[in-house]
Structure 1
Amino acid sequence: MSSKLLLLPMLTHVIWVALLYVLLTVVRAPAVWGFIKSKKDSWAEVEPRISANLSNQFEWPLFFYVICVLIISMGNIIEPIQFWLAWVFVGGRLLHSFIQILTNNIRLRGLVFTINFLAVIAMWLLFVF
């Protein structure tokens, strides 16, 4: 399997982050443009969660991007498990976003983060060893 296939999950995550920026802009726009008169009419509860989730997209995913770039730069054929671990990570990031934005379930969010974390650690270990 070509290492360049890792570009697909990477692109998917980039598109997801771009969509989060769009969502945050849409949620903030009524207040910025003065279309709402009270906090009850706004997305006051959801906006901080979207913002926090967007910030999360630049924390642990950094290690995902680094390992993917390293794997691709080596130009080697990769094991399918690395490809699937990349998709587990991206799918987990999507699920993490939905949980963080739509619920207050910190335990579930932590469980999903752990899956993301372990997927990237496994990618690193497979690369190094």
Structure 2
Amino acid sequence: MTLTAKLLILAIAAQVLLTVVVLVLMGLQRVPMVMSGEIAIKDIAVDRDAYPLKAKLLSNNFDNQFQLPVLFYVGALLSLVAGGTGWVEIVLAWLFVLLRYVHAAIHISTNRVHRRFAAYTAGLAVLGLLWLWLVLRLVFFAPSI
């Protein structure tokens, strides 16, 4: 396996780690409230309104880890399966993951919407560039079979 393939797998793992960390933080926030009876199960069975703001932010961010990152996973796996993963994919993948960490940090702390939106939009732009590069590399630049 090439160094670039390994680096791309590490970027995928870093994104998975972010998702797991947010899940654990969400559990640490929500489970004690339910277990202590502070929040009744019937009040959270359908929606999250009964949870305090911090728990809602974590929950919303966890949901967000299954939006743009899904397109990242597909692109990264496509790059790995197609072979020839290069430095362009590596830089764009790691930049995307870094921006996801920034987005998550803003989302679950200060939740300053303008900053969060800027991080989200930057991540979307990087993801768009990654996909554009993949299409160009695999469809137009790849040698014919």
User: Greater relative contact order (Cα 8 A, min sep 6): structure 1 or 2?
Assistant: 1
> Which residue of 2 is the match for residue 47 of structure 1?
55
Q: TM-score, normalised by structure 1?
A: 0.88
> What does 1:41-80 align with in structure 2 at a 5 Å threshold?
44-78=52-86, 80=87
Q: TM-score, normalised by structure 2?
A: 0.79
Letter in 1 for 2:134: F
- 2:97 is aligned, of 90, 101, 112, to 90
Identity of aligned residues (%): 30
- 2:115 is aligned, of 102, 108, 121, to 108
Aligned residues: 123
CA RMSD across the alignment: 1.7
> Which residue of 2 is the match for residue 3 of structure 1?
5
Report the secondary structure of 1:103's partner residue: coil
Question: Any unmatched runs of 5+ in structure 1?
Answer: 38-42
- 2:27 is aligned, of 4, 11, 25, to 25
Larger radius of gyration: 2
Letter in 2 for 1:51: S
Report deviation, 1:22.
0.7
